[in-house]
Structure 1
Amino acid sequence: MLATLTHLWLHLGWPLVRLLIFLGIGLLAALLIESLGWTKKLAAVARPLTRFARLPQVVGASFSISFVSGMAANTLLAESYSEGRISKKVLILANLFNSLPSNFTHLPTTFFIMVPIIRSAALVYLGLTLSAAIGRTVLIGVVARFALRHDAAAGPIKEPGPEAKKPGFREAWQNTRKRFRKRIRKIASYTVPIYILFYALNESGFFAGAEHFMAEHLSWLEWISPQAISIITFQVVSEFTAGVAAAGALLQSDAMQGHEVVLALLAGNVLSSPVRALRHQYPYFAGIFRPKVAAELILAGQLYRACSIVTVMLLYLLCIRLNAL
């Protein structure tokens, strides 16, 4: 009995409490930024991009915040969407637009894990994935510029005129606390049951089964060497670090070349991301946004991300083939 309770606390209770704490911190930060009127200042960092893309000021603010906290940035967008200040079209575009700062958030950790293990291949892999992230943001900027040209619901495109006097910190804090209490209850009402459901699915082996199914059906990757299949399999059934470790062992033994490792890691990135996004991203997204909207954002983000990674992978493969001629 004690062992069961300990297991539940370590794998369900504490992770759920930690998630709610971080959700609360993100929500508090986003609400306080709005109450203090700092949105415009934060938006100034991304103003050239958002002005070109005809995206509203709050998107620029969320873009800037994404470099520090993706959760706070998403909360800022969710608040604007729930209050009708931005349309769903803008919400989806903003979520895709923020892929670049989201990539930078994980870049230092990934860099220091990969470089000691696979050396120069890590720099090529990180350069390609960063290029894909930059490409995603630039392309969304171009798409938004045309998609929002006649969209009155997109939000204010022009910079606002003179503003009313901004509230002091005490007034802003009181307003933030009032809104926080109301919003956090709503977030918890979605997050807790969804997190418990996904925990049950994980314990029942649903996600492990899905990952093994994907790993067993990789025969279509004939253009990748047999050794590379092991790297992809490790990424899909275990985690990214396991795939990197397998790649390091194969490089060390001269069983694979650097470009083969890069291609395998990119393919594994595309194949492993959807299940992990569903398992780890959806529970907290469903707390910030409504469950249906959260599913739409994750689906759009995963499809767009996969297309961009496949594109840079094919371009890299083309460069290798041209150099071999």
Structure 2
Amino acid sequence: MKRGRRPLPPPWRRPSRVLWFVLAVIGACWLTLHMPESRMARHKAEPAGIDAPTSRAHRPAPVSETMEADAGEASLAAPSVPPAGGADAPAPRMKRHTPPTPAGKIFAKMKTFGRLFAIVGIAAFLGGLMEARRWHMALARVMGKLARMARLPEIVGLAMPTALCSNAAANSILVSSHAEGHIRTSALIAGGMANSYLAYVSHSIRVMYPVLGAIGLPGALYFAAQFSGGFIVILGVLLWNRWYVSGHGDRPVSGFTPADEAPLGWPSAVEKAAVRSLTLLFRIVCITVPLMLCIEWLLKNGAFSFWEQYVPDQVNRFFPAELVSVVAAQMGGLVQSSAVAANLRAEGLIDNAQILLAMLVGSAVGNPFRTLRRNLPSALGIFPVPVAFAIVLGMQLSRLAVTLVAIAGVIAFMHYVLY
């Protein structure tokens, strides 16, 4: 019997990870204490009633600088007028901004990160509970009905639920049946693409709940665009297979069996969800919090000023320099990217529409790297070479097309509605 990989213990039971945690907390405190004052906060357009921020190229100066400039101009342009209370009346003094104390800086960041941790932790717990109870298997039932509609062989429908747990295992079932001559190449391609979509959805569900907890509506719209676009592509592939095999006498799907694992009991499911949620929060402290503070420190020190200098204003209007950091963070994962975006939104640097745009752009930019690093090598190790290229390129190109359409829709919304 093939043995599965032994699960790793929680990170707080590993001394090296605990040391990493401590160093990350110390580094985060140091960055917070040495964080420069924000000079990049966006101001809302009050007269027009639009809550979308202006671009950095047209961003007004900070309040303190504006007041000092107005006072200087008034002293040069207007004659000296004695105060209304007489010559001895004291001149009005301008209220100065008191810089926060080190303890105040730490406390302010703890409040910001505390809200983020609470929301992300609860969302991750609920997501782990749903996965442990296997509620996502309802998607397999929907795909089973579509497989019958597409007149796919029975083995293809039987492999689909397995893809929610292991894409490689599901594809191995199809390849074995194809080698024995039980299914056609067209069914192998259609089944491989359907398995790829189900595996993508299953993987995305694991990170979807923390992302939704961190950024809310932009995350929901991002996953809705990705899932619905991919579903439309798979539906088209299945309709094509129905047309292609019409009259060939292929045996249709008569049903499907659930995946091997049964749903966990409620006590075990709660324990598994709690461990997964705490593990995610532990990792956020070790990786995401230092990343968020480093990006904030770079932004406030003008490290991305080159973007405004060399990028046309039409591009900078929709995609300012702050979004570059969100796209870069997405190379490390959606959870890191959403946490960085949530921090920048809390600082008033970006809005919801720009977060959605940055996540879509990050998905499009990372698509070729994911294909070459993970998807294509995995497919070449299972499928025949022509079939592997057909499945991987078909899925990745269609996913890229869906993302580009979504990007165009967000830009059009920002142009005609927000800005």
Calculate the TM-score normalised by the size of structure 2: 0.47
1:228 corresponds to which of 317, 320, 323: 323
Paired position in structure 2 for 1:97: 194
2:233 corresponds to which of 123, 136, 151: 136
Q: Aligned residues: percent identity?
A: 22
Unaligned runs of 5+ in 2: 6-139, 256-306
Deviation at 1:111, TM superposition (A): 1.9
2:207 corresponds to which of 107, 110, 127: 110
Residues 367 and 396, structure 2, Cα contact 8 Å, conserved in 1: yes
Cα distance change, pair 317–60 in 1 and its aligned pair in 2 (3 A):
farther
2:381 corresponds to which of 265, 280, 287: 287
Letter in 2 for 1:156: R
Paired position in structure 2 for 1:312: 406
Give structure 1 regions of 4+ aligned residues with deviation exceeding 6 angstroms. Answer: none
Calculate the TM-score normalised by the size of structure 1: 0.59
Paired position in structure 1 for 2:350: 256
Paired position in structure 2 for 1:148: 245
Residues 148 and 254, structure 2, Cα contact 8 Å, conserved in 1: no
Q: Map 1:112-127 to 2 at 5 A.
A: 112-127=209-224
Hey, what's the Cα distance between the residues in 1 that align with 2:197 and 2:395? Answer: 12
Root-mean-square deviation over aligned CA pairs: 3.5
Q: Is residue 243 of structure 1 aligned with residue 337 of structure 2?
A: yes
Q: Is residue 48 of structure 1 aligned with residue 148 of structure 2?
A: no
Write 1 or 2 for the structure with the bigger share of helix. 1
Residues 211 and 334, structure 2, Cα contact 8 Å, conserved in 1: no
SS in 1 for 2:182: coil
* 1:155-180 per-position Cα deviation (integer Å, ceiling 9, x unaligned): 423769xxxxxxxxxxxxxxxxxxxx
Residues 45 and 60, structure 1, Cα contact 8 Å, conserved in 2: no
Deviation at 1:128, TM superposition (A): 2.0
Hey, what's the Cα distance between the residues in 2 that align with 1:323 and 1:273? Answer: 29
Deviation at 1:47, TM superposition (A): 4.2
Q: Is residue 87 of structure 1 aligned with residue 181 of structure 2?
A: no
Cα distance change, pair 62–309 in 1 and its aligned pair in 2 (3 A):
farther
Hey, what's the Cα distance between the residues in 2 that align with 1:134 and 1:240? Answer: 21
- Higher relative contact order (CA closer than 8 Å, sequence separation 6+): 2
Cα distance change, pair 134–257 in 1 and its aligned pair in 2 (3 A):
same
SS in 1 for 2:340: helix
Cα distance change, pair 234–281 in 1 and its aligned pair in 2 (3 A):
same
Deviation at 1:144, TM superposition (A): 2.4
SS in 2 for 1:288: coil
SS in 1 for 2:381: helix
* 1:302-323 per-position Cα deviation (integer Å, ceiling 9, x unaligned): 1122122223333444455554
Deviation at 1:125, TM superposition (A): 1.7
Residues 63 and 101, structure 1, Cα contact 8 Å, conserved in 2: yes
**Greater shift in the superposed pair: 277-286 or 303-312:** 277-286
Cα distance change, pair 81–130 in 1 and its aligned pair in 2 (3 A):
same
Cα distance change, pair 301–143 in 1 and its aligned pair in 2 (3 A):
same
**How many pairs are equivalent?**
228
Q: Map 1:160-309 to 2 at 5 A.
A: 222=315, 224-236=319-331, 238-309=332-403
Residues 99 and 133, structure 1, Cα contact 8 Å, conserved in 2: no
Cα distance change, pair 99–289 in 1 and its aligned pair in 2 (3 A):
closer
Structure with bigger gyration radius: 2
Unaligned runs of 5+ in 1: 1-17, 23-42, 161-215
Hey, what's the Cα distance between the residues in 2 that align with 1:124 and 1:98? Answer: 23
Deviation at 1:269, TM superposition (A): 0.8
Hey, what's the Cα distance between the residues in 1 that align with 2:413 and 2:238? Answer: 27
Residues 99 and 137, structure 1, Cα contact 8 Å, conserved in 2: no
Hey, what's the Cα distance between the residues in 2 that align with 1:107 and 1:231? Answer: 18
